[in-house]
Amino acid sequence: MNQIATTQHQTDLSAHPGKGWVRISGLSVVFGEGATQTIALTATDLELQAGTFTALIGPSGCGKSTLLNAVAGFTAPTEGSVQVDGRNVNGAHPSVGVIFQNFALFPWFTARGNVEFALKRFGLSKNERRERAMEALGEVGLSDHATKFPGQLSGGMKQRVAIARTLAADPDVLLMDEPFGALDAQTRLRMHELLTGIWMRRRKTVLFVTHDVDEALRLADVVYVMASAPGRIIEKVSVDLERPRPVDRMSEGFLTLRSTLLGLLRHED
Ligand code: ADP
Ligand code: MG
């Protein structure tokens, strides 16, 4: 009896996965026409289980941003489909939050103002917006900098504001396109700790684009390796390393995975 119940439960889970489930089927994206045509992505299938952390790595121009933009609804598929929680993505939609490398903050708003502005569409009162913004800024360690303007903040702090802004809106899926690419090595490491903490607490589905193998291995459950011309996924590598993953104590498992990934990328150059 128990066994049947368990089996039933598992069946239900796969039929109705949790929120933040992404399915990409036969996705192709072609830019331009004729001689100037670029196949940015071809026949790509990818499934992200709810609450998992996935990294996409690959050389510049292999379609990483195109794939992420298709999930965000910013880029329409030429062929195939993208579904989030079983619904087709046909344009920008609120179940995803997107974080770019260049922060995309409004310079004329304070840190808190930037987060509050993103909450306008939720029909909250001014006080509720402020409360939620302060909560999110607290989560990224910026409570004491809420009234500063982006120009007064370091790169790492600006990116933390951008993360707070996204968290405040509470999307099911976080899409991050080389978010720490412009930060110095030390700040990057702190951002990895911060993001790992947020992910472990909130268990959002994360799709994280990077071309840094170590960054992918420090953060993700699964790494997909992409290749270019045409853009496509060539390999899936599972990362079953315990979290947190400190950089000063790289395990043998980490080093093995690193050489696997570097080998795959080298092969692609
Ligand atoms: P990555 O993020 O991996 O560097 P992209 O997804 O940005 O790669 O780009 C994949 C390919 O598609 C590249 O050859 C790029 O030049 C091309 N591409 C991307 N966006 C556009 C666009 N809007 N118009 C034309 N070509 C594009
Ligand atoms: Mg890109």
Is the whole-model pTM more than 0.85? yes
Q: 41: CA distance to ligand 1 center in Å?
A: 9
Q: One digit per residue, pLDDT tens: the chain, 269 residues?
A: 334 433 333 334 444 457 999 999 999 999 999 889 999 999 999 999 999 999 999 999 999 999 999 999 999 999 999 999 999 999 999 899 999 988 789 999 999 999 999 999 899 999 999 999 999 999 999 999 999 999 999 999 999 999 999 999 999 999 999 999 999 999 999 999 999 999 999 999 999 999 999 999 999 999 999 999 999 999 999 999 988 887 777 788 999 999 999 999 987 65
For the beta carbon of residue 244, count every other beta carbon within 10 angstroms.
11
Q: Which ligand is nearest to the CA of 31?
A: 1
Nearest-CA residue for ligand 1 atom 14 is 61
Task: Answer yes or no: is the C-beta of 232 below 6 A from any ligand 1 atom.
Answer: no
Task: Answer yes or no: is the C-beta of 75 below 6 A from any ligand 1 atom.
Answer: no
Task: Answer yes or no: is the C-beta of 230 below 6 A from any ligand 1 atom.
Answer: no
Q: 70: CA distance to ligand 2 center in Å?
A: 12
Task: Answer yes or no: is the C-beta of 63 below 6 A from any ligand 1 atom.
Answer: yes
Task: Answer yes or no: is the C-beta of 62 below 6 A from any ligand 1 atom.
Answer: yes
Q: 79: CA distance to ligand 1 center in Å?
A: 16
- CB of 23 closer than 8 Å to CB of 174: no
- Nearest-atom number in ligand 1 for the CA of 59 is 3
Task: Answer yes or no: is the C-beta of 227 below 6 A from any ligand 1 atom.
Answer: no
The arrangement of secondary structure in 3-95+171-268, i.e. its CATH architecture, is 3-Layer(aba) Sandwich (3.40)
For the beta carbon of residue 46, count every other beta carbon within 10 angstroms.
19
Whether cis (ω within 30° of 0) applies to the bond prior to 230 is yes
Task: Answer yes or no: is the C-beta of 114 below 6 A from any ligand 1 atom.
Answer: no
Q: Which ligand is nearest to the CA of 28?
A: 1
Per-domain boundaries in the chain: 3-95+171-268
Nearest-CA residue for ligand 1 atom 15 is 61
Nearest-CA residue for ligand 1 atom 27 is 31
Give the model confidence (pLDDT) of 233-265 as tens digits: 999 999 999 888 877 777 889 999 999 999 999
